[in-house]
Structures are given as C-alpha cells and as structure tokens.
Amino acid sequence: MSGWVDVAAISDFPPGSVRSVDVDGTQVAVFNLDGTCYAIEDICPHDGGILTGGTVEDDAVVCPRHGARFCIRTGRVLAPPAYEDVAVFPVRIEAGIVQVRDTRWDERDF
C-alpha cells in the first residue's frame, strides 16, 4: 500500500497547473482544473512518453509525442494512436498540501 505523497501547497498550485511526482516508482501527473485536482499516470500507453509536456484542452491532456488524448478526470483515452486508458489516482488536500497516492495495490489478493 502506498502512502500519500505531497505534490505542492495548494497556494502554489493554481488552476491550470500540472506537476509530475513519483509515487512509489510510478510517475503521476497531477492537474489543477478550475480549482479541483486530478491525478493520472504520467505515461502515454501508446509509446511510453510523458503526458505532462502536453497541452491541456478543457479536461483532456494531449500527448506531446503523437497527439493521443486522455480525459484528466477519468483517465479514459479519447483519441488514437493510444487505445488504452491511463490509471487514475486519488487526490486530497491535507493541511493546505495537495497529496496523491497509488491505491492500485490496496486490498488485492496475491
């Protein structure tokens, strides 16, 4: 189970901002969309490029390498050449700090 990882103080993370953080070896892109923070895996499943260098259009990020689009809120792929969604991670604000964690391994049977 992953713990919460600090991203930034909410006062230093205005709407329109994006930050990439390492969460237990996974790069996670955290976006502030109109005052609400969302987190998705910062890797395009098409070719492994990072998404944080891409443009944000409404609630989607466009991969800077080949133009695949992903919904920042849901991780859903919106346009090829990618055909797989990206993982979504929980985000919280704790004591004025934006935090994210990777819950993919929580409560799984091994």
For residue 104, the model assigns a pLDDT of: 85
Q: What is the pLDDT of residue 38?
A: 98
- For residues 26 and 102, the answer to whether their CB atoms sit within 8 Å is yes
Query: Which residues pair with residue 20 across a beta bridge?
Result: 29
Which stretch of DSSP H or E encloses residue 36? strand 36-41
pLDDT at 105: 74
Q: What are 20-55's pLDDT values in tens digits?
A: 999 989 999 999 999 999 999 999 999 899 999 999
Mean pLDDT of the chain: 93
Q: Where do the domains of the chain lie?
A: 5-100
Can you list the alpha helix ranges (DSSP code H) found in the chain? none
Which of 89, 44, 50 shows the shortest CA–CA distance to 69? 44
Q: Is the omega angle on the peptide bond into residue 81 within 30 degrees of 0, that is, cis? A: yes
The amino acid that residue 90 corresponds to is P
Query: Looking at the predicted structure, is the pLDDT value of residue 110 above 90?
Result: no
pLDDT at 106 over 80: no
Burial class (CB in 10 A: 0-12, 13-18, 19+), 15: exposed
Q: What is the CATH number of domain 5-100?
A: 2.102.10.10
Confidence band, pLDDT 50/70/90 cuts, at residue 89: very high
